[in-house]
Structure 1
Amino acid sequence: MQDSIRFCAILPDYAILEFYEVQLFFMKSTLSLDEILKDEIYCQIVKQLTDNGNQASESRGWELMWLASGCFAPSAVLLKEVNLFLRSRKHQLAADCFARLQRILKNGQRKHPPHQVEVEAIQHMTTQIYHKVYFPDDTSEAFEVDSSTRAKDFCRNIADRLKLQSSEGFSLFVKILDKVISVPEGDFFFDFVRHLTEWIKKTKQREDPPKYTYQIFFMRKLWTNAVPGKDRMADIIFHYHQELPKLIRGYHKCSIDEAVQLAACIYRVRFGDNTAQFENIQLKDFLPSDLVDKLPYAEWKKRITTTHGQSRNLSSEDAKIKFLKIVYQWATFGSAFFEVKQTSDPSFPEQLLIAINKNGVNLIHPKTKDLLITYPFTSISNWSSGNTYFNMTVGDIVRGTRLLCESPL
């Protein structure tokens, strides 16, 4: 509280403050301020913006008003006055501050201070913030993100732009350093990124932490309702490109005939009817890694070429959907795979492939790809994980089966 009062006391001289000091103030106070102190902040900002002869001080005051109106609202008692003040001002930021405040009232107040991206935006008098979002098919598009944008709203905007049937099952993922983390749909986007950045800084514990940059990805996360052919755009942009690496890594149980069919689809996606590329084909880019050595190179090439030639009227996009319809027949379609080492249950191999999908947690033999056992989610009583391990208990917590796994992932 003392920090907040001290800050309010010097607000009229805000021009002498560096912007990082304002950030420090927000960092210390946004979560803990009670209504009275929030009102005091708005009162002091309004005071600074009233009959202020110092243009630099007034400009800084509007920047702070812009940040505050995107994070928290004043009490109901003061709200009417703040709204009247903002609507009566002719400053270029006044209307935007008013709109931001209405969105905060509608969508809820932020839990974390403004992210550095927001601070830098208003420092450059940019009230529209655009984020590049990357998709699995190696394309990207820029989307506007507001201070009050929640992850679920961001997902809906992306789905609408890409003409997906629904955003259900999709998620935003933030990549920062070597970590890729899903954004909870109810979180404010900038709250999540701010919290994640602070967490990374603390865990790295560097004397001079760098300015962490991040990338935003949009992908299918839940595959429960994913049916090939049902949502063409989702199949073309997301499903095919997310399922392809799992096939190539050899995670599925795939027959030679199925591998040939799938390789022909992959080739058609890349090269269409152009057969010239068969001269330099690299089997590792078209076949599951565990099947490449099952046949001689010439035999694989002959079979794939023949199968490719049987579908001359198939477009690249339709080849993606044909690929998905083949993989969809397998119980491991849409799984998240983990290669692990376990030493807790002698009845299972030490090396395991774990597939997590709509059926539950599936333990798979890494060489034969035979399904050893499936644990429905309802049977798992406890679960814990870290950077290089995860443990789970099946059945009763005291007497149940416990699986301890180490994973390089």
Structure 2
Amino acid sequence: NSEATSLPSSMAYASLSTDSHSYTMQEFALRYFRKPQTLLDLTGGAEAKAVASLVQHSKVPIQESLISLSDEDTSRQAVTSFKALMQFMGDQSKPWGKNELDLLYKLLKLCQEENLRDEIYCQVIKQVTGHPRPDHCARGWSFLSLLTGFFPPSTTLMPYVTKFLQDSGPSQELAQSSQEHLQRTVKYGGRQRLPPLEEMQAFLKGQAVRELLIHLPGGTDYKMNIRTFTVATEVLEELCRQMGITEPQEVQEFALFLIKREGELVRPLRPGEYLNNVMVNPHVSLHSRRLGWETPLHFDNPTYVSTHYSQVLRDYLQGKLRVSAQADAEIARLAALQHLSKDKKTPPSEQDLLAYIPKPLQWGVSVTTIKGLMGQELRQLQGQSSQEAQISFIEAMRQLPLFGYTIYVVLRASELTLPGPSLLGLNHQHLLLMDPSSQKPLCSISLKSLHRLHLLSPQEVGGTPGLELNYGSADNPQTTWFELPQAQELLNTILFFLDSTCSRWPGLP
């Protein structure tokens, strides 16, 4: 009897088969609802009418759960949820001191109990079926559109809910949004976490859309509208469309980063994260950048070129994409390309020139020599457009050892004597520690070999945190640690890569 609620929810259920099931709510009621004694004595048309009444609007509250539940406490909670639903829809008067928002939260909190979800799904479907008052019925549908986006029904009930929404679509506008929300829930798992007060107040006013600002490399901001159940991958797909990117493989190489205040918290969002779950703090912002570089670059879109140029340029000027301090000609050419990318017609000033040289190299090069070589380069590159200069700069960067990596500056590493800060590159395959002076790799760790990651607290007040890695085979386990200011960010990014490339990583947090 309790099959409908005892089965765990699943995001991957089989497609509807063409067997004896018609997947109507009447069929579900006959299989899983409590059977009124009067139903047993009826036949023919009277019986059919009585069965239909099980899943049609009721003017009076239920006295026990619709679904035959074995647990009495759950059944009592079902009675409570039905009454709250009637009050929210306006079919019953609200309790003293309670408003629609209180009732909505009460219903969603009850839905957090997995054993109650099928029951509440059946209750709201029952109450919107044949409701005599359109305004009250619309409230029931608005709750159903929320329910389908937050919590999934069981695998048993899922095809019945799907069929109900499909059949209701032509006559009920909210049925279409409920279908879309349920599809997202099937794909991404549902929001689960209850929404903040401000969001629910906006929802009750019919204001489900909010504007979101995404910060792109180079200071470009992109505005887009998100809804209650928008997930990170949908935002990335929209951003990529603006850059002329349509291939799914290339879209997956971009990520949204959540940054709190001035870099206090930096982590990439998983593709299925609901943006309204993470954008609840007024001090957080969203930034987008490319993390993977496996797909061949193509320079057929101005926005694509400018965002990639800005991301690569930032790493170069910070000294993460390192050229030798003795490579005067290379530094001068890169400076000339930067100058042309700004579409400046006048020769660079000395202040301009310094801004074109990576910070770690500014005291180790001859500015006079670079200026002379840069002038020669500008004469040779005369006629290049700003976009052509940006493409040439990216192509030059592609030749450097750590191009295509997310790069961090490591202050210390276990079992290694480092002459100074080293560069740690991370991609979806491995970690690579490199000596910036010789540009020789010091060690490489495959992400596939990782067993455990552990964040290390600073050894002293104001000190630098670290990240410990356990890796290797069972016969040859190894441990190493890196000390760097962005240890938390590195941890989060490693987990992001692991999550996006493998379905399961036992032992990792």
Normalised TM-score (structure 1): 0.78
RMSD over equivalenced CA pairs, Å: 3.5
What is the match of residue 19 of structure 1? 101
Residues in 2 aligned to 1:87 and 1:118: alpha-carbon distance in whole angstroms: 28
Letter in 2 for 1:131: L
Structure 2 residue 255 is the aligned partner of structure 1 residue 171? yes
- Taking a change above 3 Å as real, the CA distance of residues 103 and 257 of structure 1, as seen in their structure-2 partners, is same
What is the aligned counterpart of 1:345 among 404, 415, 418?
A: 415
Residues in 1 aligned to 2:163 and 2:301: alpha-carbon distance in whole angstroms: 49
- Of the structure 1 ranges 8-17 and 318-327, higher mean CA displacement relative to structure 2 is found in 8-17
Note the 1:103-142 alignment, pairs <5 A: 103-107=180-184, 108=186, 110-113=190-193, 115-116=195-196, 119-142=200-223
- Taking a change above 3 Å as real, the CA distance of residues 20 and 251 of structure 1, as seen in their structure-2 partners, is farther
Deviation at 1:244, TM superposition (A): 1.1
Find the residue that maps to 1:171 and give its secondary structure.
strand
What is the aligned counterpart of 1:221 among 282, 287, 291?
A: 291
What is the match of residue 242 of structure 1? 311
Contact 2:215 2:221 in 1 (8 A): yes
Contact 1:73 1:104 in 2 (8 A): no
Letter in 2 for 1:189: Y
Find the residue that maps to 2:392 and give its secondary structure.
helix
Find the residue that maps to 2:150 and give its secondary structure.
coil
Structure 2 residue 334 is the aligned partner of structure 1 residue 273? no
**Could you list the per-position Cα deviations for residues 74-117 of structure 1 after superposition, in whole angstroms to 9, with x for gaps in the alignment?**
634455556656654xxxxx40x211222234341514146447
Structure 2 residue 128 is the aligned partner of structure 1 residue 37? no
Structure 2: gaps spanning 5 or more residues:
1-73, 89-93, 457-464, 487-509
Structure 2 residue 156 is the aligned partner of structure 1 residue 71? no
Letter in 1 for 2:192: H
Residues in 2 aligned to 1:6 and 1:230: alpha-carbon distance in whole angstroms: 60
Residues in 2 aligned to 1:313 and 1:20: alpha-carbon distance in whole angstroms: 66
Contact 1:63 1:122 in 2 (8 A): no
Deviation at 1:396, TM superposition (A): 3.1
Residues in 1 aligned to 2:478 and 2:301: alpha-carbon distance in whole angstroms: 42
What is the aligned counterpart of 1:100 among 164, 177, 180?
A: 177
What is the match of residue 395 of structure 2? 325
Find the residue that maps to 1:70 and give its secondary structure.
helix
Structure 2 residue 468 is the aligned partner of structure 1 residue 391? yes
- Taking a change above 3 Å as real, the CA distance of residues 333 and 299 of structure 1, as seen in their structure-2 partners, is same
Contact 1:131 1:143 in 2 (8 A): yes
Contact 1:151 1:188 in 2 (8 A): yes
**Could you list the per-position Cα deviations for residues 22-68 of structure 1 after superposition, in whole angstroms to 9, with x for gaps in the alignment?**
33642563462445323244247538x93459x6x777555434422
Structure 2 residue 372 is the aligned partner of structure 1 residue 302? yes
Find the residue that maps to 1:160 and give its secondary structure.
helix
Deviation at 1:375, TM superposition (A): 1.5
Residues in 1 aligned to 2:445 and 2:485: alpha-carbon distance in whole angstroms: 24
Residues in 2 aligned to 1:82 and 1:400: alpha-carbon distance in whole angstroms: 54
What is the match of residue 6 of structure 1? 80
Contact 1:266 1:286 in 2 (8 A): yes
Deviation at 1:224, TM superposition (A): 2.2
Residues in 1 aligned to 2:400 and 2:368: alpha-carbon distance in whole angstroms: 28
What is the match of residue 91 of structure 1? none
Normalised TM-score (structure 2): 0.64
Deviation at 1:404, TM superposition (A): 1.1
Note the 1:255-294 alignment, pairs <5 A: 255-275=327-347, 278-279=348-349, 281-294=351-364
What is the match of residue 266 of structure 2? 180
Note the 1:193-204 alignment, pairs <5 A: 193-194=276-277, 196=278
- Taking a change above 3 Å as real, the CA distance of residues 256 and 123 of structure 1, as seen in their structure-2 partners, is farther
Deviation at 1:365, TM superposition (A): 2.4
Find the residue that maps to 2:341 and give its secondary structure.
helix
Look at both structures and tell me which one has the larger radius of gyration over its CA atoms: 2
Residues in 1 aligned to 2:201 and 2:151: alpha-carbon distance in whole angstroms: 19
Letter in 2 for 1:103: E
Contact 1:283 1:292 in 2 (8 A): no
What is the match of residue 430 of structure 2? 360
Letter in 2 for 1:182: P
Deviation at 1:337, TM superposition (A): 1.4
What is the match of residue 46 of structure 1? 128
Letter in 2 for 1:46: V
Structure 2 residue 458 is the aligned partner of structure 1 residue 404? no
Residues in 2 aligned to 1:120 and 1:237: alpha-carbon distance in whole angstroms: 40
What is the match of residue 201 of structure 1? none
Residues in 1 aligned to 2:337 and 2:181: alpha-carbon distance in whole angstroms: 49
- Taking a change above 3 Å as real, the CA distance of residues 197 and 392 of structure 1, as seen in their structure-2 partners, is same
Residues in 2 aligned to 1:346 and 1:113: alpha-carbon distance in whole angstroms: 44
- Taking a change above 3 Å as real, the CA distance of residues 23 and 323 of structure 1, as seen in their structure-2 partners, is farther
- Of the structure 1 ranges 239-248 and 3-12, higher mean CA displacement relative to structure 2 is found in 3-12
What is the match of residue 493 of structure 2? none
Structure 1: gaps spanning 5 or more residues:
89-93, 199-210
**Could you list the per-position Cα deviations for residues 361-405 of structure 1 after superposition, in whole angstroms to 9, with x for gaps in the alignment?**
221225x15323341526733341438321224533564442112
Find the residue that maps to 1:265 and give its secondary structure.
helix
Contact 2:316 2:322 in 1 (8 A): no
Deviation at 1:303, TM superposition (A): 2.9
Deviation at 1:151, TM superposition (A): 3.3
Find the residue that maps to 2:177 and give its secondary structure.
helix
Aligned length: 380
